[in-house]
A and B are shown apart, each in its own frame.
Chain A
Amino acid sequence: MNRRFPAAIACAASLLWSAAAVAGAQSGQPQAYGTAVSYVEIPAVAFESSIPVTFPVVQGNGTSAYVRYTPGCGGCLMAPLRLPSGAKIVSLELDAIDTDAFDAVYGSLVACDRWGTNCSKHPAAASGPGDCALAGSVCTGEGFADGVTTATADLAPDGLAVDNTQGAYFLTGWADASTVALSGMIVGYVLQVSPAPASPTFNDVLVNDPAFQYIEALVASGVTAGCGGGNYCPDAPLTRRQMAVYLAKALGLQWP
């Protein structure tokens, strides 16, 4: 049995997530900050055929939204996923239309090397028929028509940590007949602070300091150089001037 939300919850969640997904989802900047879950919507229009000449993408049978399928080619729908390094992907949602009594719609999260020659599917995501048996798979029901439907997979706690220096990340969709179509996918992720280094930068912030990891992250980001003399002065009050320097440097303010 698939791990799927009850319809009412899924509907409510979709509405909330739609509101949260900001336009410009592929902008490369996070849609939200902090270490709680943020969501990015990858709409159907972002999915192309990986074999466009042989298996072109076809607009699906939706009436009010962009939905797509690739006739004759399962797994051909693809969209690049662009998240900042350090983001950890923790959930995957598949929105689909499935009016086929046997076939289903599948979605996968794929991580590749920088040339796309060595790829691996996240173990908790479905890539084709049969994978629905996997816990946390993302697919509509195999063997019956779901209609307009949503499937979700929880990839936490391990998740998939994004590192743009090492490779590329994709979403793939499997919808290969006119009776099924992909409406879009929603990726949930959290931002993360870099792990603490082995040795401290400052004399007064040692590795056992409760803020060690965070102070080191600020230093490595060029946001602070400490208070002089090799110290950070962690217990000194922050002036409004210091705050302005920190925040402007951290966020790259203010460019029109």
Chain B
Amino acid sequence: MNGTFRVGLCLAFALTGAALRGQELAKKASDVRPKTYGVAQLSYYRMSAAEFTLLDTANGPAYSDVGYSNFGVFQRYSSGGPAIFVASPHLPSGALVSYYELDSCGEDPVEDVFANFFFCDNQGTGCGNGGISSNDNGTHPCGFAAFTLPEGFLVDNYRNQISVTVRTGSGTSSTRFAGVVLGYTLSVSPAPQFSDFGDVSTTDPGFQYIEALAASGVTVGCGNGNYCPDAPLTRRQMAVILAKALGLQWQ
């Protein structure tokens, strides 16, 4: 992504994010049926506050004692002042992140809790800011702020690293956070320039998907450099392909 594009994204996030706050968002989240696979709808990936590391300990250590009476569930802040926490999501390459939610408690009427979504190169330099989510819900004890990323952010673990930072204000337990949720869909690799099979042209409607299957080592075609796209799939072939694709069955 180039710089201009990033700036454009940030503006778009800021505009669309505000519109999605509150009840409307709550309804949206509960309407979506939970799912994990496929290229439609969102799968949700939750990063607990427990996974976040305090980036700068100058303002004191990370506290997470709020909610102790409720099984000691993590809600984090720093005792001495504003604190920045960081964590990296573990999403598969090809995941397209398009939803971003901060679950936090900001009981302080002045101080807010912010979360940033960063994508960096492998060296951790040249990081771009993918969006800011802010819980400025005033005196409400707990709430969430959510943003949609209209263009989405494509996870590429081979070339990039992703991090999420959360900034808590004031240095007291009145601004703390419980976690960040990322919503994503899976996507299929773009089609290569040339076809691997003599009978699957680059204009074939199944070209991109057949190439993805071949590149994954799930199929090597039907022999003689062909894939036989119009041949019916036998139950035997189905068993081989599915077992290979899913890595079945380890117990």
Contacts and interface: CB of A to CB of B under 8 A. Distances in A.
A37 to B, nearest CB: 8
A248 B73 contact: no
B1 interface: no
Contacts of B250: 19-20, 31-32
Given A117-B70, A168-B178, A247-B241, A255 B249 contact: no
Given A115-B75, A116-B73, A164 B39 contact: no
A150 to B, nearest CB: 18
Contact of B251 (A20, A24, A51, A75): A20
Question: Which of B91, B215, B222, B233 has the most chain A CB atoms inside 10 A of its CB?
Answer: B233
Contacts of B105: 115, 117
A50 B72 contact: yes
Interface in B212-251: 212-213, 215-216, 218-219, 222, 227-233, 237-238, 241-242, 245-251
A165 interface: yes
A221 B232 contact: no
Main secondary structure of the interface of A (DSSP, over half): loop
A221 B39 CA distance: 6
A121 B45 CA distance: 22
A80 B51 contact: yes
A241 B188 contact: no
A254 interface: yes
Nearest to B44: A164
A168 B72 CA distance: 13
A23 B78 CA distance: 32
Contact of B75 (A116, A166, A237, A242): A116
Nearest to B185: A222
A252 B37 contact: yes
Interface of B: 29-30, 32-41, 43-46, 48-51, 61-65, 67-68, 70-75, 79, 89-95, 103-105, 141-142, 144, 156, 158, 178-179, 181, 185-189, 200, 204-206, 208-213, 215-216, 218-219, 222, 227-233, 237-238, 241-242, 245-251
- Closest 7 interchain pairs by CB? A222-B40, A221-B38, A252-B186, A85-B34, A50-B72, A255-B94, A116-B73
Given A239-B233, A250-B38, 17 more contacts: A37-B251, A50-B68, A76-B72, A108-B71, A114-B103, A114-B181, A115-B104, A116-B67, A117-B178, A164-B45, A168-B178, A172-B71, A220-B41, A240-B231, A247-B218, A248-B210, A254-B212
Interface of A: 16, 19-20, 24, 26-34, 36-37, 48, 50-54, 75-76, 78-80, 82, 84-86, 108, 110, 112, 114-119, 121, 127, 162-166, 168, 170, 172, 191, 194, 218, 220-223, 237-245, 247-256
